[in-house]
Chains A and B, each alone.
Chain A
């Protein structure tokens, strides 16, 4: 079925280091991608998005990179903090899926102090 996959279920990083979370998406027609952060007991929280006509977008301490050639998406978090500990999902959208988002499996980010 439809899928956006994440290969590493858990990522542990030291506080202050940079984190990189990867995502492989399956549909080359996808034209919009979003990274979400989900903390325990809460809904997914929007972090950053990118459209397929871009290959990089930066926010506050976060950068999303899009490589359409290999259908790969990554989220980089600079100077990771304990408050960054959460599950991170990538999600994709395209006209084949209608207007819904298709989520990947999620990566748990654990920040060690």
Chain B
């Protein structure tokens, strides 16, 4: 079965650079979520989109932005990168918008800021 696809798998950037992470949800899923996971930490919610509109916002820095496109894929744009942004970034998708349904996660992008 098709899963959530994230690219790239690994990314190394220097401080103050920008990065773009991409997410391709499971086909027919209408909701995309972005999470950040630091070493030994639980995933922290950043932002979500339902039918291409932002549906919820968590602890996402102002330096980050995201959007969902007409084909439902999503991109997380990160600017003025800081050392503390080094983490795993996961995208998840689900169907049925606001109804209870499990989130399915991709295998993440490991971002290292040097």
Contact = CB atoms under 8 A, between A and B. Distances in A.
B105 A98 contact: no
Interface residues of B, number: 26
Nearest to A45: B105
Interface stretch (B14-22, B79-87, B96-104): B96-104
B48 A98 contact: yes
Interface of A: 31-32, 34, 36, 41-46, 49, 51, 89, 93, 97-106
Given A34-B103, A43-B106, A99-B56, 14 more contacts: A31-B100, A32-B100, A34-B102, A41-B107, A42-B108, A43-B108, A44-B90, A45-B105, A46-B103, A98-B55, A99-B31, A101-B33, A103-B44, A106-B42
Interface of B: 4, 31, 33, 41-45, 48, 50, 55-56, 58, 90, 92, 94, 97-98, 100, 102-108
